[in-house]
Amino acid sequence: MQPPKWPDAPPCVNKIAGDEVRANLEEIVDKFGKHDAGAPRTELVRETCDKQIYRRDGSRIVLFSVPPSLAFRYAGVFAVMVRGYAEPDHGELTQARAAACLARAQSDLVAIGVGADALNDYRKKFEALADDPDVGAAHYLNCSDTGEPSYQESLSIMVHELTHQNTAGNCLYTSYGPLCFALSSDLPSSSIATVEELFDSDDPYLKKLNKAQQLYLVQFNKQNRGPAALFNELNAYTAGLEVSAALLKKDGPKGLLDKEGKPEAQMLPLVMLWTAKYLSELQDENPDLYASTFGPATGNHKSVETLLAHGEAAYQRWTTELDRHHLAASQPEHQIWLLYLEAKKHDIPRT
């Protein structure tokens, strides 16, 4: 094994913690990935002291440990030193290719006027990790521009993920400044926001959303993550869609259409519906807890309103650009959006 390269050297990947993270990622790949023929098998591609790269069923699984000085900010809990992710496998990315792809991404984000700050702030906060081809910002990008997602879609994904990583504690990272929440530990899991309309549908878009619902509201909620997880996702999907809308405006639909030439399905309407439904269910189940946490006079209420307003604006920009290019979101996506608008009208009264 090679020794750690970073000045503030991360420890070697702890076997017990690493095995647990890898098993969880394998479960996610098996449930939600695109399966190759035959039984899934995990293959070790490369290993150093602080990093392990695997391939499984068309996905790339990466485990890594973080430097002690970043453990709290990066992992959220100081004791958690091993992190990991799974994504579509685009092969090995060299340091030179990662640097070139990040330079391209920076230039493109500056050109469209959206998302460049997220990349710049990530570099400042996580300097030791930012340029690493396996765990830094470049791994979110489809630098080869072959397979899925396209480079354009991966640019939106990168801004989405960096928005998550720039978020710290109870304050979301946004393009308009920190947006903070005060949330108690006795709030119910975000799984109460489950949308039954997604079950037992043959529509490809709704089937995809149902898999996403299982991932976000069930798989990720084995431990109660509460509504903070929903707000975090709403914020990140808003940031990502802002990039997609700006790309569509500047360069047209290249890379933003599916194999049938239709706009890629968007998750933002569903995440907004989850948010409105969570508040509705909480209000029905525990009116006092709802009133003290999200009532009209609370700061949380104002923060939710701000998140939803920015989400609505991002989706409006996206659909406006679709109209301009004689494209349209699918009817099921439109129905999810209408469900959100109806839920918000009844459950989130304006102050």
Note whether residue 302 is domain-resident: yes
Q: Count structural domains, the chain.
A: 2
Note whether residue 116 is domain-resident: no
Amino acid at the residue 113 = G
Question: How confident is the model at residue 76, as a pLDDT?
Answer: 43
Question: How confident is the model at residue 91, as a pLDDT?
Answer: 78
Angstrom distance (rounded) from CA 105 to CA 110: 9
Q: Which domain holds residue 63?
A: 1-89
Domain stops at, among 64, 89, 114: 89
Residues 71 and 177 reside in one and the same domain: no
Please tell me which of 73-82, 128-137, 207-216 the model is most confident about, judged by mean pLDDT: 128-137
Q: Over 90: is that where the pLDDT of 226 sits?
A: no
Q: Are 14 and 82 in contact (CB under 8 A)?
A: yes
- pLDDT tens readout for residues 53-79: 999 988 999 999 877 666 544 334 434
Higher pLDDT, 59 or 80: 59
pTM: 0.89
Residues 33 and 182 reside in one and the same domain: no
Domain stops at, among 23, 56, 89: 89
Residues 213 and 338 reside in one and the same domain: yes
Q: What angle do CA 97, 100, 243 make, to 5 degrees?
A: 115
Q: CB neighbours of 80 closer than 8 A, spacing ≥ 6?
A: 17, 71
Residues 49 and 194 reside in one and the same domain: no
How is residue 267 annotated by DSSP? S
Question: How confident is the model at residue 212, as a pLDDT?
Answer: 85
* Residue pointed to by tokens 């608008």: 341
